Amino acid sequence: MIDISLDVRQVSRDLTSRWQRYGTRFEYMWRSFSPEDRTEILNVANPTLVGQELDFAPHWDNENMAEDPSVLVNILRHRATATLPEQAFESSVNGPSDLEVIKESQQYIDWGLPRGNAYVAFCEGEKYGVPHKAADQKTVAAALLPPGKEHLCVPVIYGDLVLLRQAFIIGRIGTAFMLVWDCDPEEQPGPWIPANPEESAARLREALQLQEPAGDAVDDSALNMARRNKGIVGAQWGSLGVATRVLKERVIHYFSSLPDQVLNEDRVTNNTVVDKDLITCVYDVVNDVARHHALWTYLVAVMPEAAEEEEGGPGRAVILQEMAHVCHMGFQRAQSLLKRFLQKRLEIKEGEKALFVKRCGEYDVDGNTLVTLAVSMDKLDKVKPRIDPSIRHIVRLCQPETTAEAAFEWLQKLKDECEIDTEGLGQLKAWEADALADLATMLTFIEKLTDEAALPPVNGKKRVKGLFVSKCQQIDKDLWALRDKVDLTLFAVPPARLGKPEVAAGALDTISNVCRQKTGSSLEGNYDKAVRESVSELRRRCAQAQAKQQKGKAAAAAPAGPSLFIDKAQGKRDEDEQQQERKEKVKTRPAEGAEAELVPPAPPTPPPPAQAPEPEKIKVTAATADVFEALFDRTLNRRPIAFTALESAMAELGFTVDSHGGVGSSTKFVPPKGSGWRPVTLHRPHGNANKLEGYRLLTAASRFREHFGWDAETFEVV
């Protein structure tokens, strides 16, 4: 439930602050515009009023405001300088008071707003507009209002409508105010140079491996890839406070994609956006870049540690598991950012439903209002109007329920679709393309690391206490409360100011100073400390795991002997019996009646259990056996398989190879009739990647085991 009174108080404070800082300059700028310029601004800030909006503002006239600049200036001055109770109950040069307008429009009474014994007192302070239940109006007025102000207390049916009108008008004129301020030449850092969308598009095509990387060929190992990404994100961090556009544009993208602005299930959105939301976006942008840089810094630090550990040793296993957790953190970060940018822009409807809806009162792992798909993922291809296939794949990629393993398949489908139709990616905005490139880069890195070092599954189901992921989570938790304590109004309002390097640097310094006061270190310093401590802790745990293994080996190599109490007792008893036997005379004949004292014969030994019959071998040629030997190889040095060789091997076994006419990458292997096997579908690598290797090789082997029960021992050379 939206708190209307809180929204009104917030937008009113924002407008008052803006007027104090920029009121005189605004009036000069507004009067200097041509009627056409004023019309353009008003059409953006105040779209054509329809339906009940006309009842809120019956005297609102964009055309009149554009022709006579004094109209909007007078409205702004009144709303920015008069108190909220004065606006509600006192008329001005702009016309009647808010309450008078409401009472003139009796059709409001039929809106279904709350009735009963509840009253609203329009008093000063934080209780302005808050409804109170009471037996009568006088009781509320006596409790909240000074003597002689009883008329400021009205029934809730009128009070809520006054608040709605105030939020509506202050919000719209506040938007017009910001538009003028944001385009003021004095607020610009110089000639505005828009971001080149081709740069983002080229980076995305490179991340999707649809084009060769720019520049000279480089070592394509996972470690070098991590180093390159550390350098890229480090350059982004370094440019936030010095380069024109960088911080400003990132903040605007975050601000324009606020989850609260997404429609809910009733197709209602919270239109009240306050300066505090903008300030929060500045903090979120800075925190995201700092954490992302720390992630790659940490990976670059621990990957050589893994290489120095003995292959198959306990220390190496500890490091690989830690890297899997960090990769999952990076995957979730890219996934969440891509979803944020898409969910607000994709205004695709299915009947009366939006494609994405927000869940009021529910929050995601980042603490933002939860936004989910309004339709199930398996119905995306049935949404009307039809969604481009590439966009459908991207939407699936960014859903929280899409695991890293599933994301590999959707990313491959996206690549296949883009090779057929390149128009889909052209629909993405530059910042959306950058977010998708980040996601594709992280998935490619995970794949390379899996190929090179047998990385454990990246599923995020386990967390290692004290290491990097949990340390970052703790930093987020500690710094989350600081967002409300960072006052960046002078730097971030309007957003155009962030385009000035000195203003952007001032915003960064303010954030760092607040963090330093509360935590003892700057924002980036907290993450640097997390990297150092995590590396140190990881080394300690590796040494601990190695010591434990050595202790186990030493225990296994020690001479066998009784170690438990019962074993010692049995050993002592056997020794006593042997001494007693040596004292007795050895008899060569059995005593009389010895036959009667013999122990009854033991029951016959049961036959050994029948061994399960070995699975029937499949006789194949040497070439086919070689293919399946490589497919089911469990060593770290798995060799790739040419996809054509796999097709030939399956054909030898009687399978039908259906490549769908060579369109796309979907290849189905249909087993011979009567075999009892199920068909299996694999994705054929494209371009230069015409071999199954790494992650794709593991996936193919897993499917063949699941569908056919095959392993490395199944095949025998004829």
DSSP secondary structure letters along 601-663: PPPPPPPPPPPPPPPPPEEE-HHHHHHHHHHT--SSSPPPEEHHHHHHHHHHTT-EEE-GGG-
Domain contains 115: yes
Residues 31 and 71 in one domain: yes
Instruction: Report the DSSP pairing between strands 153-155 and 349-350.
Output: unpaired
One domain, residues 107 and 41: yes
Q: What pLDDT, on the 0 to 100 scale, is given for residue 340?
A: 93
Q: Is residue 563 part of a domain?
A: no
Residue 235, in any domain of the structure: yes
Indicate whether 257 pLDDT > 50: yes
DSSP 237-264: HHHTTTSTTHHHHHHHHHHHT-GGGS-B
* Confidence label for 220 from pLDDT (cuts 50, 70 and 90): confident
Domain residue limits at 318: 200-209+220-263+271-345+434-543
Considering the domain architecture, whether residues 635 and 665 belong to the same structural domain is answered as yes
pLDDT at position 323 over 90: yes
Position 297 confidence tier, pLDDT thresholds 50, 70, 90? very high
Whether residue 268 is predicted with pLDDT greater than 50 in this model: the reply is yes
If one counts the domains in the chain, the total is 3
- 71 and 175 in one domain? yes
User: In which band, very low, low, confident or very high, does the pLDDT at 597 lie, cut at 50, 70 and 90?
Assistant: very low
pLDDT at residue 276 tops 70? yes
Strand 356-363 relative to strand 680-683, pairing: unpaired
pLDDT at residue number 479: 85
Please indicate, yes or no, if residue 377 is contained in any of the structural domains. no
pLDDT of residue 113: 47
Q: What pLDDT, on a 0 to 100 scale, did the predictor assign at position 677?
A: 84
pLDDT-derived band at 695 (thresholds 50, 70, 90) equals low
- Residue 103 above 70 pLDDT? yes
Asked if the structure places residue 600 within a domain, the reply is: no
303 and 179, same domain (yes or no): no
217: pLDDT strictly greater than 60: no
Residue 225 pLDDT grade (very low, low, confident, very high; cuts 50, 70, 90):
very high
Model confidence at 470: pLDDT above 70: yes
> Tokens representing 462?
């386990």
Say which residue, 527 or 548, is predicted with more confidence: 527
Assess whether pLDDT exceeds 70 at residue 263. yes
Q: Can you give the pLDDT at residue 187?
A: 82
pLDDT more than 70, % of the chain: 79
- 244 and 167 co-located in one domain: no
Q: Are residues 232 and 163 in the same domain?
A: no
pLDDT (0 to 100) of residue 173: 92
Mean pLDDT in residue range 494-502: 88
The domain boundary, picked from 515, 543, 571, lies at 543
Q: What is the pLDDT of residue 461?
A: 60
87-96, 194-203, 674-683: least confidently modelled range: 194-203
Residues 624, 503 share a domain:
no
Which stretch of 99-108, 268-277, 682-691, 708-717 has the lowest confidence by average pLDDT? 682-691
* 207 Cβ neighbours under 8 A, 6+ residues apart: 436, 437, 438, 440, 441, 444
Which domain-ending residue is among 498, 515, 543?
543
Judgement on whether residues 164 and 229 belong to the same structural domain of the protein: no
**Confidence class for position 605, pLDDT limits 50, 70, 90:** low
Using CB atoms within 10 Å of the CB of residue 502, give its burial: 0 to 12 exposed, 13 to 18 middle, 19+ buried: exposed
Q: How many CA atoms lie within 13 A of 151 on its CB side?
A: 8
Report the range of poorest mean pLDDT among 407-411, 437-441, 461-465. Answer: 461-465
Predicted local distance difference test score (pLDDT) of residue 116: 62
Segment 597-623 mean pLDDT:
59
Q: Are residues 167 and 292 in the same domain?
A: no
Same domain, 334 and 480: yes
Run of H or E including 666: strand 666-670
Do 533 and 622 fall within a single domain? no
pLDDT over 50 at 586, yes or no:
no
Last residue of a domain, one of 495, 512, 543: 543
Q: Is residue 571 part of a domain?
A: no
